[in-house]
Amino acid sequence: MRRVLFAAVFAFVIVAMLAPPVLAQAPAPKVTITGLFDQVTSGGRNFYDGNYSRDGDREWVARTRFRPDIEFAVGRTKAVLGIEIDIQYGQTGANDSGFPGNNSGNAGGNGSIGGGPAGGKFGTNGNFDINTDVGGMFEIKWMYTEFDLTGKDSILPFIPVLTVARAGGQPFGTIANYKQSAYASGDFGGVDLYTTVTPDIKNHLAWVISEDQLAGSNRGIPNQRFTRGEDWALIVSPEITPFKGLDLKPLFSYFHADGVTNRASRNNTTNFMTVGGAMNGAGAYCNTNTLAPTVTGFAPATTNAAGALVSTPGACANAGDPTYHENRYTVGLDARWRLGPFGLDPTVYYQWGSYTTQALSTNGSGIGRADGDAMAWLVDIIGSFQVGPLLVELRGTYSPGNKAHDNLSLSKRYFEPLDLDSGWYTGWGAILAGGIDYFNGGGGPSNSMATNIGYDRYGTARAAARVTYNVTPALAVYFVVTPTFSAEKVDTNSTVVLAAQQTYTNRTTPAGAPAQTGFLKGDSRYIGTELNVGTTWRFAPNTALDLQGAYLSAGSALNTGEFLNGSLVQRDANDAYTLAARVRLAF
């Protein structure tokens, strides 16, 4: 009996000893949900359409954002599903949008300014009208899997250093830069490999797929294909900590684009000498073999009733010809240094490359391929000092641009990021940059100063000061002043200098003559000075109320010219303002 009892106890002890390793090898699955709810309301005047000389644009709107991230984890392996829903209060267009019951995608409202489905606010999915019932509103922001590629218990365990792979739709995060929206922010589809060589030396190697090409799409006549080609980027960005308080992040990035590409990666700047008039339009990438030589001198022979250039005829698909390529290289350094109460965040990038577009001939021979070169740089430095509850921050930014008369078909001197996701200068303004209402700001809708570094083709020169005082741990007030200039003088004979709205209504284009009134010389660099005041009150756990007011004293670079009844009419820019409130619940 004793032998049987001893054997049973011994077996139990052995099983108990083996149990922990078994459990360690097969951890229990875990699901975690984090995210936020935003209730935002804002109003303002004269900056929504980007034309500061006409101040009829005004609004007061409210909306809700729900942004959850659902993480599914088993041990070190995890998958994340990020969802985003943005719905505006009240119907704002001819229908209330939504799918399937609410006519998603039909035009309504002021699409040229609002830009959303069915005339909704730019960035929104739909509208809460009477009885709401809005369907089909889910946006998939992230959907990726993160797993160990090398190191112990990985796919390649014979490689001793740890590399964590992330595959799928994911955020850029700090892959390319520490500073928000310096080169690559927002989200992308692709793969990132994060290698830990030592605790102080790490590296990101990311392959970003912007546009892809399916089998068979690359066959046929190039300019009649509906493919947009193969557009992709490679990012190599180490993270080095020489000593505590100093982090260095060098960057090398290569970007390749075939034909038209995403406007986040190429500024759709207006260019008088490019076919179609825009640097990222289909006309710039048509094949010359199918285009009638209707161009003599500097401009096409005809304009439409509004005076805008008529696209050169041809059988060019909307995507443009993917045999026209762009190759762009970016190198530089982003860093952050903390020394007691002092902080320094410098960013220095240099960029160069080449591209091919369809351009207008200057000798009257028609149109053809034009090879251009790109070269630009960016310097962005933030210095800070904190004493007790007071934080003082100073920021200086400079990046060159092109002169008004430059032919962008031959050279580009403005810096082009991979993706800023409307985040450039966020927190340092609300009109010329994004504020607490992140659907406005940047000076106008898409292709604004929040989505591109610089003012159209003219580059940027900014100085900013931000003072934050924490009255209590739960209550903070801040003040921001941001004088903004362009690096090169803006030609104020153009109607609206922001590329998303810029038109040719200001220039004469008779057949066979290079006559024009715009894009001949620059007039002013001063864009304006923005003043901000705001407060953040954390009145409950994980909940905060943000209030912000902003006023832009418009500069002469925002003046415009309109060609009316055969005469050029000059219009002075008017000031702009906005007020916003937001209640955020983070969980």
Q: Supply angle C-alpha 572, 447, 508, rounded to 5.
A: 50
Is 375 part of any domain? Answer: yes
Is 458 part of any domain? Answer: yes
Is 185 part of any domain? Answer: yes
Is 166 part of any domain? Answer: no
Is 63 part of any domain? Answer: no
Q: How far is CA 343 from CA 246, 329, 385, 463, in A?
A: 10, 30, 6, 17
Question: CA 96 to CA 105: how far, in whole Å?
Answer: 10
Expressed as residue numbers, the domain containing 434 is: 172-586
Q: What is the pLDDT of residue 25?
A: 55
Is 98 part of any domain? Answer: no
Q: What is the CA radius of gyration of the chain?
A: 27
Is 409 part of any domain? Answer: yes
Q: What is the pLDDT of residue 395?
A: 97
Give the HSE-up count for residue 263: Cα atoms under 13 Å, Cβ half-sphere: 18
Q: What is the CATH number of the domain that holds 424?
A: 2.40.160
566 contacts: CB under 8 Å, gap ≥ 6 = none
Neighbouring-strand partners of residue 328: 255, 353
- Cβ-based neighbour number of residue 433 at 10 Å: 28
DSSP string, 488-514: EEE-TTSS--STTT--STT----TT--
> Residue 566, exposed/middle/buried by CB under 10 A (0-12, 13-18, 19+)?
exposed
Inter-residue contact 119 to 157 (CB < 8 Å) = no
Tokens (6 digits) for 552:
């832009």
- Cβ-based neighbour number of residue 279 at 10 Å: 23
Local mean pLDDT, 10-residue blocks, the chain (587 residues): 44 41 67 96 87 84 95 96 91 63 42 50 78 80 97 93 97 94 94 97 97 75 70 97 96 95 88 83 67 34 38 51 88 97 98 91 70 96 97 97 91 95 90 90 66 89 97 97 95 57 34 45 91 97 97 92 71 93 96
* DSSP secondary structure letter of residue 316: -
- Cβ-based neighbour number of residue 83 at 10 Å: 17
DSSP string, 387-432: ETTEEEEEEEEEE----TT--TTTEE-S---SB-TT-TTTTS-SSS
Question: CA 265 to CA 185: how far, in whole Å?
Answer: 11
Domains in the chain: how many in total? 1
Inter-residue contact 330 to 162 (CB < 8 Å) = no
Q: How far is CA 111 from CA 61, 262, 439, 523, in A?
A: 16, 20, 15, 31
Amino acid at 314: G
User: 3-state class of 368 per DSSP?
Assistant: strand
Q: What is the pLDDT of residue 427?
A: 92
Q: How far is CA 580 from CA 319, 436, 549, in A?
A: 38, 7, 6
Q: What is the pLDDT of residue 95?
A: 62
- Cβ-based neighbour number of residue 153 at 10 Å: 10
- Cβ-based neighbour number of residue 512 at 10 Å: 12
Q: What is the pLDDT of residue 51?
A: 80
Q: What is the pLDDT of residue 90?
A: 85
Is 115 part of any domain? Answer: no
Question: CA 508 to CA 272: how far, in whole Å?
Answer: 12
H or E stretch covering 36: strand 30-45
Question: CA 196 to CA 82: how far, in whole Å?
Answer: 26
Q: What is the pLDDT of residue 277?
A: 80
Of 427, 394, 517, 502, residue with least CA distance to 458? 502
578 contacts: CB under 8 Å, gap ≥ 6 = 42, 43, 44, 45, 47, 430, 431, 435, 437, 440, 549, 550
